[in-house]
Amino acid sequence: MFLAGAALASASSAAQSPGSGAGEAFAVRPRNVLVMLADDLGSQEFSAYGVIPGGQARTPVIRQLALGGVLFRNAWSNPICSPTRASLLTGRHPFRTGMGFAVHVASGHELPAAELTLPEALGMHPSLTYQTAAFGKWHLGADLLGANLAGFDHFDGALGNLGNESYYAWTRIIDGQTSTSNEYATSRTVDSAIAWIDSAVEPWVCYVAFHGSHAPWHEPPPDLYSTQTPNVEPREDPRPFFVAATEALDTEIGRLLAALGPSREHTNVIFISDNGTPRDVCEPLAEPLHGKISPYEAGVRVPFIVNGPIVSQPGRQVDALVQATDVFATVLSMTGMDPVGDLPPGHVTDSMDLGPYLHGRGPLPVRSHAYSELFHPNFSVTPDVHWRLVRDQRYKLIRRLSSPDELYDLALDPDETSDLLLGSPDATIQAVHQSLLDAIDSIESS
């Protein structure tokens, strides 16, 4: 853990060096980018966000990542995993990609080949060739070469959830070839990423999508966590095992960062999660049915932290509305690309470059509304279920396919316990409702 802290401190020092603005000429060497995606972890699970007073997993590495970087307080994902993964890698909302729900292997659904992905966009870099790799959980289709076909030079991980397998016995795929791994999945993912980074030619972009802390919650190796777990089957009392898995994830992220060695000083790091915490392991901070696979804040508000040489004045927190889609444009900008001008003409994106919030130069991008959605089945023009979520800085609208709209004042009611549309809403609330409906129409027609 000391090494991880040293690596983070080194990165904070590097953040003060000149020439750290996105899109500027690289004075010394081009920068690497490490994108880390956690699984099933809402922002309330991290002490850096200060939501639950106590009761969280011990996550000192993530806390130091935030203290040495920029923490976004109002970051939205989609309510379930695959749509967020597609949004992160394409910069586009689910209604554009067709990925509105978790991808099941038997469905035959794949991330469409026509979608321009992050590694494919990096291939259009005007001056540099970036090596790219993906590790861990893919969950965007059943093709063994899915990540490779989406543009990654190398893939080492699993197609989706561990499902009926376990963290200690799961099907590992390396560039289309399968084998069985008996190593704890979070540790194996980090081992694979470190091995690739050690041999990669810089600059590189590495996407590490962890299985932690998704079910099944098997007790991690004892040196990776410190919480007390009961002597029961995890399904009988899952929360302690979920916490242990989260602590193990934090420990292994620390090992990954420490393994970067000197390259840490020219590596920007993004940490985010794919959706909120599952309901059966949520702490009781909200209504019982809030959490993953719900349209409420506990289902879509996720950690979003950026650390590295691009950050000036580390330790800041930003209240701007940001989304998982923003990883796409932000990574491109970190490599020196213009996330608009260097892409094909007419390419439609929902991604916003967060660089000005990080390096403090140029006008701040302002998103008036954040958007999220879930629909089932994937690629359906007439889905069985469809939730659209939109919010401005204060109010949030939930629009469901087959039930009344819900409207919440997140400033006064962050746990979404009082629907403002119940009863007889006054003219002010009706106007807010209409403005958010207009925002949905504007986003979906753009």
Q: Give yes or no for residue 164 having a pLDDT over 60.
A: yes
Contact by Cβ (8 Å): 93, 350? yes
**CA atoms of 299 and 41, how far apart (whole Å):** 9
Contact by Cβ (8 Å): 68, 329? no
The CATH code of the domain that includes 287 is: 3.40.720.10
Looking at the structure, do residues 212 and 327 belong to the same domain, yes or no? yes
Looking at the structure, do residues 359 and 386 belong to the same domain, yes or no? no
Looking at the structure, do residues 315 and 198 belong to the same domain, yes or no? yes
Looking at the structure, do residues 176 and 286 belong to the same domain, yes or no? yes
Looking at the structure, do residues 321 and 412 belong to the same domain, yes or no? no
Going by pLDDT thresholds of 50, 70 and 90, the confidence category of residue 285 is: low
Range of the domain at 111: 2-371
- Give which of 134, 95, 135 is closest to 117, Cα–Cα: 134
From 323, 341, 371, the end of a domain falls on 371
Looking at the structure, do residues 283 and 186 belong to the same domain, yes or no? yes
From 333, 349, 371, the end of a domain falls on 371
Going by pLDDT thresholds of 50, 70 and 90, the confidence category of residue 289 is: confident
Q: Which pTM was predicted? A: 0.93
Element of type H or E holding 241: helix 238-259
Looking at the structure, do residues 440 and 325 belong to the same domain, yes or no? no
**CA atoms of 343 and 347, how far apart (whole Å):** 7
Residue 2 is predicted with a pLDDT of 31
Amino acid (1-letter code) at residue 63: R
Tokens of 245: 């898995």
Q: What percent of the chain has pLDDT over 70?
A: 91
Looking at the structure, do residues 272 and 175 belong to the same domain, yes or no? yes
Amino acid (1-letter code) at residue 418: S
Tokens of 386: 């469809």
Looking at the structure, do residues 413 and 361 belong to the same domain, yes or no? no
From 371, 396, 430, the end of a domain falls on 371
**CA atoms of 41 and 305, how far apart (whole Å):** 13
Q: Give yes or no for residue 22 having a pLDDT over 50.
A: no
28, 106, 132, 157 from 207: Cα distances, Å: 24, 25, 8, 11
For residue 50, what are the contacts with CB-CB under 8 A and spacing of at least 6? none
Looking at the structure, do residues 432 and 303 belong to the same domain, yes or no? no
Q: Give yes or no for residue 23 having a pLDDT over 70.
A: no
With b for 16 or more beta-carbon neighbours within 10 A and e for fewer, the 3-37 pattern comes to ebbebbebbbebbeeeebbbbeeeeeebbbbbbbb
Q: What is the pLDDT of residues 103-162, one digit of tens each?
A: 987 778 999 999 999 999 999 999 999 999 999 999 999 999 999 999 999 999 999 999
Looking at the structure, do residues 304 and 201 belong to the same domain, yes or no? yes
The CATH code of the domain that includes 437 is: 3.30.1120
**Length of the chain, in residues:** 446
Question: What total number of domains does the chain contain?
Answer: 2
Going by pLDDT thresholds of 50, 70 and 90, the confidence category of residue 343 is: very high
Arithmetic mean of pLDDT, 150-178: 96
Q: What is the pLDDT of residues 377-421, one digit of tens each?
A: 999 999 999 999 999 999 999 999 989 999 999 999 999 999 999
Contact by Cβ (8 Å): 37, 93? no
Looking at the structure, do residues 431 and 300 belong to the same domain, yes or no? no
